[in-house]
Amino acid sequence: MKRVTIFLLALVLLLSACGASGQPEANGEMDAVIKRVVDGDTFELDSGEKVRMIGVDTPETVKPNHPVEPYGKEASNYSKELLTGKKVKLKFDVEPYDKYKRLLAYVYLEDGTFVNEKLVRDGYARIMTIPPNVAQAELFLAAEREAREQNRGLWAFEGQQAEAPKEKAKPKKQSNNNTAADTTPPEGKTIKGNINSKGEKIYHVPGSASYEQTKAEMWFSTEEEAQQAGFRAPKR
């Protein structure tokens, strides 16, 4: 009887260890060590897997056939200093992987620092919320608003660029794109979601009256997707 008890106890411990193995799964989590930082929002684990941080978008620095974007090096260096060689906890949302087979994760340092939010709040990243991974969308929105109001990081840089004397600028070919939003929409997602000063969540479809003037805080592929996230169509 004693041997049976010991065997069952060992079996339970083994199963518990398997259940806590940290394999990526929806709404799960795992511990990991960061080997190197690729750019501001992407890094590689010591296991060789690439991780893309959920909900944030830093200026590009290593995208093929794409120039280094303004404030990209600063964001990349910030993430390198913050993350290289660190032990972290990765928490997953609805989709553990993206179409490029990268892990999609919320990243936490050992001291509890929520890295995704910190990048946005310190002004090194914009928000880029793509359903269905929206668990921290409201937190990211608040962080970006604070960064913009305080002119932190890339927001201060953009302000300086806008204030540069026009007479010193070289003539440029005029652009027909006068949208307020200066970020490129994610592939397949062209509906803009915006939260106004009253806290109302409103979405705008391409061709609608306010689409070109709307700053996208979230992107959606369908109106149904926007509605599921709590956004409504404009009243007019």
Helices of type H across 112-234: 115-121, 137-149, 154-163, 223-228
Which tokens hold the place of 236? 């007019």
Cα gap 84→18, rounded to integer Å: 28
Choosing from 60, 74, 217, 225, the catalytic residue is 60
Closest by Cα among 105, 134, 131, 123 to 22:
105
Choosing from 74, 102, 144, 225, the catalytic residue is 102
Choosing from 44, 49, 52, 146, the catalytic residue is 52
Find the helix or strand (DSSP H, E) in which 8 lies: helix 2-19
Based on the residue annotation, tell me whether 146 is a catalytic residue of this protein. Answer: no
8 A C-beta contact, residue 50 and residue 102? yes
What number of CA atoms fall less than 13 Å from residue 167's CA on the CB side? 0
DSSP state of 10: H
3-state secondary structure of 193: strand
Based on the residue annotation, tell me whether 52 is a catalytic residue of this protein. Answer: yes
Which tokens hold the place of 40? 């501001």
Based on the residue annotation, tell me whether 102 is a catalytic residue of this protein. Answer: yes
8 A C-beta contact, residue 121 and residue 81? no
Which tokens hold the place of 99? 């179409």
Q: Which residue has the tokens 């806590």?
A: 20
Cα gap 92→159, rounded to integer Å: 35
| Active-site residue set | 52, 60, 102
